[in-house]
Amino acid sequence: MTPDNILTALFPDGHQVRNDKGVLLGSATRRSGTCMLVLGVADRTAVGVDEAIRLSGHVLGSIDRDDGPILVLVDSDSQRMSKRDELLGLNEFLAHLAKVLIYADMNGRPTIGLIYGHSAAGALLATGLATRVLVGLPGADPAVMDLPSMAKVTKLSMEALEQKANSTPVFAPGLSNLAQMGAVQMTWNYAAPLADQLEALLADMPAVQDLRDMLGKERGGRLKAAEIGERVRDLALQAR
């Protein structure tokens, strides 16, 4: 589905979201009549310093003005691989975007990520994975790192990585694997109205916490993260 189709399905009462060279910015009217801030990346656009600062500015500009939830739509490439972006400090811009979304969520603006296309690497970390809840749509194709890139970093052969990907979700791209790891909390479907599924999630948001590590353990995709995280937390409390 295109961003326009998805936005129309999510917000049948109307939206004011514009697509400017792959950057989505605007707001939309929920079924309840209240407003929801909307931002994101479309058309498999790479996220560079320009895109990151526009997205974070959209959120920061609404902090004192609005009080509703925030939706982040994601269909991106990875972070922009350019000398200009790297020299300008792309890692800091991506970190800033992630921290802005986390700050908003911690201060009464529940954040939901919705991945409907592709996304990978730093672009995924700074958008969908920086929200409290990441939802997938059928056909989405996320990847923390694709296998050719992973082969370059790990120095393992493609054959070895493909074998690992068949049995270990951490090595495998795709929506089902990220769901098994707990990164994607749920997958919506097109059989029911997207607007209804959005409202059902928003109704639960006060109780929904970031439980990616626990979900990964329950689903068999990340067996150690929850335990290690708990041990680190206990050690930190003991050292206070």
What is the layout of strands, in order, in the sheet containing 133-136? 15-20, 23-29, 35-47, 70-79, 111-115, 133-136, 186-187
Residue 137 lies in a domain: yes
pLDDT at 160 over 90: no
Q: Can you give the pTM of this predicted structure?
A: 0.89
Give the total number of structural domains in the chain. Answer: 1
Residue 177 lies in a domain: no
The CATH number linked to 28 is: 3.90.226.10
Average of per-residue pLDDT across 113-119: 94
Residue 71 lies in a domain: yes
HSE-up (13 A, CA, CB side) for residue 5:
5
Residue 27 lies in a domain: yes
Per-residue pLDDT tens over the stretch 176-229: 888 888 889 999 999 999 999 999 999 888 767 778 888 888 888 888 888 898
Q: Would you place residue 144 in the very low, low, confident or very high pLDDT band (cuts 50, 70, 90)?
A: confident
Residue 162 lies in a domain: no
Q: Which residues form the domain of 96?
A: 3-144+183-209
Residue 164 lies in a domain: no
Residue 152 lies in a domain: no
User: How many whole angstroms separate alpha carbon 173 and alpha carbon 222?
Assistant: 14
Residue 215 lies in a domain: no
